């Protein structure tokens, strides 16, 4: 079996050089990489198609073909030149996607793969174009849908032109609707994602979330060789550094390691922790901020949007007089992250992710796999992942709920650590994810699906009507 992954945004390289450094280099890249690696291990020939970037600010993404060392020829990263040579944010890729598709067609010539799997709206749109040209079938994994983002940003009729200029929602939602209509199967990480996200008014007529024949819930997994509670040989060096950073303090921490993005609601954890004397007496706070060793003195080195998130957090810590109980850790790689999780798990610490909404929640399962007790948002995937009580779920909008959740988890960190780890290892591994993908693709190849007629590209009108009806 030969499979092509379509992932125009971000990029991939064997060293994972830029993971989490930019929203376009986030969890989706980990997802695509890990499913691809697991499929390759199962004997599938995989190509990940992405964009060629020849930009001094983003080195290492210029060669047309690359590979993950452990996979040899069975997994190729294929970089197609389109939209110039410099890095472009995903919102700016839309006009260039037909060139991406042309590049993929040229790359394969007549020797096309058996099946496509498309990721995010831009990948879905590209797959629909490629299907039109070649007849190949595809699965669509949305990762994050435009309708929910538009809601979360608080789009109104008044700010529509401004947000539209920046985020191109009309193009994105048209692309998503097209991908939903044309995909053989839509893959979601949870049943909740299927019901809530695909049931949005803006997708009506493109897909029916109640149609079992169109959906498959396939949960993502953890890389269980990296994220494990077993100590690695190389842990010693990083644990020594962490030990030094902790100084005389040998108690537990509340750990936050999300991207500096407003929707992750790091401020909610900080508000809860600074606001509860019992909490900040019981546990110090650890904030993992990639790229900075000392955010109080180096804030200006971050991009403006990240400064906006971190500044009020630093101010709140200072206003509470708690600077000496906070440690910042500049964690550079997934391996260092896992080593840090193991270090903190051994101190009875708690990992917190209190996003306003989390479509799935890869970060808490990675932390749980390393033995950390988890406190997670009740909005989105974590409520399904941890529905057996193996993590504490909280209301992200309510600092009192977060504080109570953190206190509860700290009080029974050892028990939660064991239960969370078992939950993750029994259900959430990439090998299981890849097996499900393979079954889905094989099922789809074995049956005929007539192509539905394509509805007009009218998302802009739909968005306007939706915003108007909400007023
Ligand atoms: O990496 C996870 C992810 O959901 C990607 O799919 C996407 O790049 C980003 O985060 C979210 O994008 P958006 O904010 O445009 O929905």
243 CA → ligand 1 middle, Å: 34
Instruction: Flag whether pLDDT at 89 surpasses 80.
Output: yes
Supply the pLDDT for residue 250: 96
Average pLDDT over residues 111-137: 97
Whole-model pTM over 0.85: no
Q: What pLDDT digit, counting tens, does each position of 390-399 carry?
A: 999 999 999 9
Pocket probe for ligand 1: among 8, 25, 26, the residue whose CB has the most ligand atoms within 8 Å is 26
259 CA → ligand 1 middle, Å: 12
122 CA → ligand 1 middle, Å: 11
Supply the pLDDT for residue 334: 87
User: Is residue 263 within 6 Å of ligand 1 at its C-beta?
Assistant: no
3-state secondary structure 231-251: CCCCHHHHHHHHHHHHCCCCC
Would you place residue 453 in the very low, low, confident or very high pLDDT band (cuts 50, 70, 90)? confident
User: Is residue 143 within 6 Å of ligand 1 at its C-beta?
Assistant: yes
Contact 37, 71 (CB under 8 A): yes
95 CA → ligand 1 middle, Å: 19
Supply the pLDDT for residue 325: 97
Q: What pLDDT digit, counting tens, does each position of 276-318 carry?
A: 999 999 999 999 998 899 999 999 999 999 999 999 999 999 9
Q: In ligand 1, which atom is closest to the CA atom of 90?
A: 8
Supply the pLDDT for residue 449: 75
Sheet containing 373-377: order of strands: 326-329, 284-288, 253-256, 350-353, 373-377, 392-394
For strands 215-217 and 185-188, give the pairing: parallel
Supply the pLDDT for residue 413: 98
439 CA → ligand 1 middle, Å: 26
246 CA → ligand 1 middle, Å: 34
Q: Which two tokens mark 16?
A: 């994972």
Q: What pLDDT digit, counting tens, does each position of 358-370 carry?
A: 888 889 999 999 9
Instruction: Measure the CA–CA gap between 285 and 227, rounded to whole angstroms.
Output: 22
Going by CA atoms, what residue is nearest to atom 8 of ligand 1? 24
Sheet containing 2-6: order of strands: 65-67, 75-80, 45-51, 2-6, 115-119, 138-141, 185-188, 215-217
Supply the pLDDT for residue 72: 76
Supply the pLDDT for residue 470: 85
User: Is residue 24 within 6 Å of ligand 1 at its C-beta?
Assistant: yes
Contact 36, 101 (CB under 8 A): no
User: Is residue 23 within 6 Å of ligand 1 at its C-beta?
Assistant: yes
User: Is residue 26 within 6 Å of ligand 1 at its C-beta?
Assistant: yes
Q: In ligand 1, which atom is closest to the CA atom of 28?
A: 1
Where does 168-303 have alpha helices with state H? 169-182, 191-192, 198, 235-246, 266-275, 277-282, 295-298
Q: In ligand 1, which atom is closest to the CA atom of 167?
A: 15
Supply the pLDDT for residue 455: 74
Going by CA atoms, what residue is nearest to atom 7 of ligand 1? 24
Contact 416, 390 (CB under 8 A): yes
Cα three-residue angle 379-385-386, rounded to 5 degrees: 85
Instruction: Flag whether pLDDT at 333 surpasses 90.
Output: no
User: Is residue 386 within 6 Å of ligand 1 at its C-beta?
Assistant: no
Going by CA atoms, what residue is nearest to atom 5 of ligand 1? 28
Q: In ligand 1, which atom is closest to the CA atom of 119?
A: 6
22 CA → ligand 1 middle, Å: 10
Q: 215: part of which helix (H) or strand (E)?
A: strand 215-217
Q: What average pLDDT does the chain have?
A: 95
Would you place residue 104 in the very low, low, confident or very high pLDDT band (cuts 50, 70, 90)? very high
Instruction: Measure the CA–CA gap between 289 and 307, rounded to whole angstroms.
Output: 11
24 CA → ligand 1 middle, Å: 6
Q: In ligand 1, which atom is closest to the CA atom of 31?
A: 1
Average pLDDT over residues 200-204: 97
224 phi, psi to nearest 5 deg = -80, -5
Q: Walk me through the domains of the chain, giving residue ranges and CATH numbers.
A: 2-221+432-470 (3.40.50.2000), 235-427 (3.40.50.2000)
373 CA → ligand 1 middle, Å: 26
DSSP string, 349-398: -EEEE--S-BSS-HHHHHHHHTT-EEEEESSBTHHHHTTTTTSEEE-TT-
Supply the pLDDT for residue 254: 98
Q: Who has greater pLDDT, 334 or 295? A: 295
Q: In ligand 1, which atom is closest to the CA atom of 149?
A: 16
Contact 172, 60 (CB under 8 A): no
Q: What pLDDT digit, counting tens, does each position of 211-255 carry?
A: 999 999 999 999 888 999 999 888 999 999 999 999 999 999 999
Would you place residue 73 in the very low, low, confident or very high pLDDT band (cuts 50, 70, 90)? confident
For strands 75-80 and 392-394, give the pairing: unpaired
Pocket probe for ligand 1: among 90, 93, 144, 149, the residue whose CB has the most ligand atoms within 8 Å is 144
What residues have CB less than 8 Å from 383, skipping those under 6 apart?
Answer: 192, 393
Average pLDDT over residues 19-35: 91
User: Is residue 8 within 6 Å of ligand 1 at its C-beta?
Assistant: no
User: Is residue 149 within 6 Å of ligand 1 at its C-beta?
Assistant: yes
Supply the pLDDT for residue 19: 86
Going by CA atoms, what residue is nearest to atom 12 of ligand 1? 144
User: Is residue 28 within 6 Å of ligand 1 at its C-beta?
Assistant: yes
What residues have CB less than 8 Å from 127, skipping those under 6 apart?
Answer: 6, 116, 117, 118, 138, 140, 179, 182, 183
């Amino acid at each position: 079996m030969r499979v092509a992954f379509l992932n125009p945004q971000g990029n991939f390289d064997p060293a994972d050089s830029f993971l989490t450094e930019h929203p376009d280099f986030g969890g989706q890249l980990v997802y695509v990489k890990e499913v691809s690696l697991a499929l390759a291990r199962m004997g599938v020939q995989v190509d990940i198609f992405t964009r060629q970037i020849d930009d001094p600010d983003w080195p290492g993404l210029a060669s047309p073909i690359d590979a993950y060392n452990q996979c040899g020829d069975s997994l190729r990263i294929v970089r197609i030149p389109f939209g110039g040579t410099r890095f472009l944010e995903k919102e700016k890729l839309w006009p260039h996607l037909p060139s991406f598709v042309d590049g993929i067609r040229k790359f394969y010539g007549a020797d096309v793969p058996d099946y496509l799997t498309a990721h995010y709206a831009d990948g879905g749109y590209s797959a629909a174009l490629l299907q039109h040209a070649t007849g190949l079938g595809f699965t669509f994994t949305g990762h994050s849908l435009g309708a929910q983002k538009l809601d979360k940003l608080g789009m109104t009729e008044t700010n529509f032109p401004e947000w539209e200029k920046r985020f191109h929602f009309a193009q994105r939602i048209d692309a998503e609707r097209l991908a939903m209509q044309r995909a053989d199967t839509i893959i979601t990480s949870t049943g909740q994602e299927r019901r809530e996200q695909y049931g949005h008014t803006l997708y009506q007529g493109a897909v029916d979330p109640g149609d079992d024949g169109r959906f498959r819930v396939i949960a993502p997994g953890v890389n269980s060789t990296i994220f494990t509670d077993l100590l690695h040989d190389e842990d010693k060096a990083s644990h020594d550094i962490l030990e030094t950073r902790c100084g005389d303090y040998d108690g537990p921490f509340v750990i936050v390691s999300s991207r500096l993005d407003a929707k992750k609601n790091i401020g909610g954890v900080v508000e809860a922790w600074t606001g509860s004397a019992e909490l900040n007496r019981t546990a110090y706070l650890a904030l993992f901020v990639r790229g900075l060793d000392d955010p109080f003195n180096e804030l200006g080195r971050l991009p403006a949007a990240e400064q906006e998130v971190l500044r009020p957090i630093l101010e709140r810590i200072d206003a509470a007089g708690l600077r000496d109980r906070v440690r910042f850790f500049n964690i550079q790689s997934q391996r260092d992250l896992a080593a840090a999780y193991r270090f903190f798990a051994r101190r009875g610490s708690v990992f917190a992710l209190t996003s306003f909404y989390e479509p799935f929640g890869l970060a808490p399962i990675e932390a749980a796999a390393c033995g950390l007790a988890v406190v997670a948002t009740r909005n989105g995937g974590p409520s399904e992942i941890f529905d057996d009580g193996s993590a504490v779920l909280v209301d992200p909008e309510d600092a009192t709920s977060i504080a109570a959740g953190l206190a509860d988890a700290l009080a029974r960190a050892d028990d939660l650590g064991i239960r969370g780890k078992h939950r993750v290892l029994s259900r959430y591994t990439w090998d299981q994810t890849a097996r499900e993908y393979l079954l889905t693709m094989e099922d789809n190849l074995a049956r005929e699906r007539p192509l539905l007629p394509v509805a007009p590209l009218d998302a802009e009108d739909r968005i306007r009507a939706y915003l108007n009806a909400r007023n």
